[in-house]
Amino acid sequence: MSGVDKEGMYGILAQFPKQIERAAKLGKKVKFDDEIDKIVVAGMGGSGVGGEILKNYLDLKIPVFVNKGYGLPNFVNSRTLVFVISYSGNTEETINAYRGALRKGCKIVCITSGGKLIELAEKQGKDVIKIKSGIQPRAALAYLFFPMLNVLHNCGFIDDPGKEIISLVKVLKKDIFKEKGKELAKRLTDKVPLIYASDRFKAVAYRWKTQINENAKVHAFTHTFSELNHNELVGYTSLKGYYYVVIIKDEADIPQMRKRMNLTKEIIRKSGVDVIEIGITGGSLLTKMFSAIYIGDWTSYYLALEYETDPTPVDVIEGFKKKL
């Protein structure tokens, strides 16, 4: 197996709790005293998924938007806090979004390891949180997510996340996440994974999908309850592929949502498709979300090994960028 993992993704995943500890120290000096009535996170791919997680995690009185693409929404203004996130610092769409935020007079925080973004931000006097370079963006999730919590705490939006992060790290150091991932990867081999969750865990399910895409180099798809009960459920009437359904369940899901999940599971199994439930219990929402994410990361890693695929390189993406 180590012969397949030529670039050492195993070691990076194993160090994820340590990465969180390091990341939790970043961004503590960034603060805005002026009014903020909107938050936007601009980022693509592995650099942008932290925004999706942040949106699901926060419960604020102001809206949080995730921006994936060129430019920014028309509603941004001087009262908008914009996190501009590009691991490489050279992401085309994100650079464009940064320039849009600059023109609109937004409050800007850049999170990057270098590249064009850091050059622009430093030249124009914008806040930059510089993070560790040399790994794949998707493997740098902690560096791309946790500094945002510190900034939001400094601005008075959330309580100090320190104790919550300490508890999270303690949980993630357990071997059970790797073991569950390895077991699940064997179930998913030669099947198309369909990852389902409630809206609250939408970002977690999306992270599973994208990790399987990039690490195992195969298709995976995701949908959320209860929207999938109004469309995708009908697809089990006439199957045109070999699927395996993973349902991520949170103990805090409301009773009606749990009922929907159970009924959906029954219908899927009657269609001949296997279903497994990943139950997330105990701890804070942050711990639940990142526990589920960590299982998904290990699952994608071991699925790559099942396919004798090096999980690190993403040659198709790199080749695509060179043609732009």
What tokens were used for 189? 């081999």
Backbone angles phi, psi at 311, to 5 degrees: -70, -20
Q: Look up residue 72 and give its two tokens.
A: 């920014």
Residue type, position 27, single letter: G
Secondary structure string (H, E, C) spanning 221-253:
EEEEECHHHHCHHHHHHCCCCCEEEEEEEECCC
**Are the CB atoms for 224 and 208 separated by under 8 Å?**
no
Residue 223 among the catalytic residues: no
Sort residue 91 into left (φ over 0), alpha (ψ -120 to 50) or beta: beta
User: Do 208 and 151 contact (CB within 8 A), yes or no?
Assistant: no
Q: Annotated catalytic, 153?
A: no
Sequence length of the chain is: 324
Position 47, amino acid: S
Here the contacts of 319-324 (C-beta below 8 Å, separation 24 or greater) are 324/92
Pick the catalytic residue from 123, 230, 240, 270.
Answer: 230
Q: Angle formed by the axes of helices 162-172 and 285-306, to 10°? A: 30
> DSSP for 270-319?
HTT-EEEEEEE-SS-HHHHHHHHHHHHHHHHHHHHHHTT--SS--HHHHH
Active site residue 308: no
List the alpha helices (DSSP H) in the chain. 9-14, 16-23, 45-57, 92-103, 115-123, 141-154, 162-172, 176-188, 202-211, 255-270, 285-306, 315-323
The residue assigned the tokens 């007079």 is 105
Q: Which of 214, 217, 223, 288 is catalytic?
A: 214
DSSP for residue 140? G
**Residues recognised as catalytic:** 214, 230, 321
